[in-house]
Amino acid sequence: MASGTTNPWHMALEQFNNAVQYLELDPGIIDFIRLPKRELTVNFPVKMDDGSVNVYTGYRVHHNTVRGPTKGGIRYHQDVTLDEVRALAMWMTWKCSLVNIPYGGAKGGIIVDPRLLSMSELENMTRRFTSEISLFIGPDSDIPAPDVGTNPQTMAWLMDTYSMHAGYTVNAVVTGKPVPIGGSLGRADATGVGVMFAARQAMQKLGMPLEGSRVVVQGFGNVGSVSARSMHEIGSRVTAVSDVYGGIYNEDGLDIPALMEHVRKSGKVTDYPKGEEISNADLLTIPCDVLIPAALENQIHQDNVGRIDTKLIVEGANGPTTPEADRMLRERGIVAVPDILANAGGVTVSYFEWVQGLQSFFWSEKEIFERLERIMTTAFEDCWSMAERKNVDMRTAASILAIARVAEATELRGIYP
């Protein structure tokens, strides 16, 4: 376990406290927008395939509802905690604000290793959890989406369960659904493509060539694999990737589409034949030009940051860098594009999916990626200029912009009653 600040909620608070110093806000408003608005913990039974009953604990946290309904993924992972869900919900508030979509932040999770459950057990658990949190979610109030350990199938079960309770089909209660039941074209790739847009902008600003630049990606799930493929498509050389089982390295560049096909069949990157196996710890310290953490929190910390050998970090994952590591990266002149900017492509296309679902009018993939590119580019440019204006790093700049918008909305709405 890394030393230093590893509790995600403490990390999120430290980042918030750092950014609000640059804003002239009423202390009461600061207190209000810092804390989660409401938190739900549920303990619920699930019938397993062998007839036994397992009890699971899950959470749904609404961080802030001032700019609109709340939005945020649902995570299935054995290490989920309430503090982690709180942090992820707060980061969602800033992310939605930064790309200027009319949502507040939320997050949910269940303490479970989904790899240990059969499909029918996963379905039973998802449906019961949906039922348990149904008071919290809804197409106008709180709209879940996939995160670590969940996928479009999970969202289909969630949508179906909610609809069974309502008595009619409520597509817009969830995003990241399969396309045949109201999902958006492009949603599955949106986060990874958005990571590439952010990386590309940053590389241009730093005068780095896209062609041939060495890219290392940690995590090869939804975000990591599509980030790697998108970087490969713009001509960069993806030299190493990893998943929970370990990593694979090839100095000449990995054939990412072939590796994705391999992972579809074998379930892991490590036994891919055209590369040498490396550990996850070593992957992060391989010399490269762009490092994309796309797995979990706390991967770049004070114990390994000194050995990180890159020019640019683009955070596909939420919270991969601890505050201590962040300070050390800054001292070493390594630019970090923060999570709330770099991985905002997912929630942006989730917003497109929600809008399309509410209107029952669907857009082409071309329209979706053009709009996504516009939004990501604008947000990146806004953060870059704020960083220059205030002489701060990109994380602080992104947080200043995001918090300022939430504070402005709070002041405009006023304090009820």
Instruction: Say how far residue 167 (Cα) sits from the centre of its chain.
Output: 32
- The stretch near ligand NAD (CB under 6 A) out of 22-30, 118-126, 222-230, 326-334 is 222-230
Residues within window 130-169 making contact with ligand NAD, judged by CB under 6 A: 146-149
Asked if residue 236 binds ligand NAD (CB under 6 A), the reply is no
Q: For residues 190 and 372, is the Cβ–Cβ distance under 8 A?
A: yes
Q: Which residue's beta carbon is nearest to the bound ligand NAD?
A: 221
Q: Which of 133, 172, 174, 317 binds ligand NAD (CB under 6 A)?
A: 317
Based on CB atoms, which residue is closest to ligand NAD, 46 or 99? 99
CA dihedral 61, 62, 63, 68 (to 10 degrees): 160
* CB 18 to ligand NAD: min, Å: 21
**Smallest distance from ligand NAD to CB 116, Å:** 14
Q: Quote the DSSP letter at residue 100.
A: T
Contact stretch for ligand NAD (CB under 6 A) within 64-72, 221-229, 329-337, 389-397: 221-229
Site residues for ligand NAD, window 321-350 (CB under 6 A)?
Answer: 343, 346
Residues with Cβ within 8 Å of 403's Cβ and at least 6 positions away in sequence, in order, are: 16, 19, 20, 23, 33, 94, 97
Binding mask 287-316 for ligand NAD (x = CB under 6 A): -------xxx-------------------x
Q: Give CA–CA dist 151/206, Å, rounded.
A: 35
Longest alpha-carbon distance in the chain: 65
Q: How far apart are CA 277 and CA 269, in angstroms?
A: 9
DSSP SS3 for 47: strand
DSSP string, 340-397: HHHTTHHHHHHHHHHHHHHHT----HHHHHHHHHHHHHHHHHHHHHHHHHHT--HHHH
Number of residues that bind ligand NAD (CB under 6 A): 24
Among positions 358-417, residues that touch ligand NAD (CB under 6 A) are: none
d(CA 122, CA 373): 35
Report the C-alpha gap between 255 and 66 in whole angstroms.
Answer: 45
265 a catalytic residue: no
* CA 310 to the chain's CA centroid: 22
Among 223, 254, 341, 383, binds ligand NAD (CB under 6 A): 223
Q: Between residues 244 and 260, which has the closer beta carbon with respect to ligand NAD?
A: 244
User: Is residue 224 part of the contact set for ligand NAD (CB under 6 A)?
Assistant: yes
Nearer to ligand NAD, 164 or 278 (CB): 278
Smallest distance, Å, CB 189 to ligand NAD? 10
Using CB under 6 A as the binding rule, the residues of this chain from 160 to 219 that contact ligand NAD are: 191, 218-219
Q: How far apart are the first and last CA of the chain?
A: 47
Looking at residues 41 to 100 of the shown chain, list those that interact with ligand NAD (rule: CB under 6 A): none
Number of neighbouring beta carbons within 10 Å of residue 335:
18
Among 30, 48, 82, 244, binds ligand NAD (CB under 6 A): 244
Choose, from 37, 71, 95, 107, the residue flagged as catalytic.
Answer: 107
Residues shown for the chain: 417
Per CB under 6 A, residues contacting ligand NAD are 146-149, 191, 218-224, 242-244, 280, 294-296, 316-318, 343, 346
Which residues are designated catalytic? Answer: 107
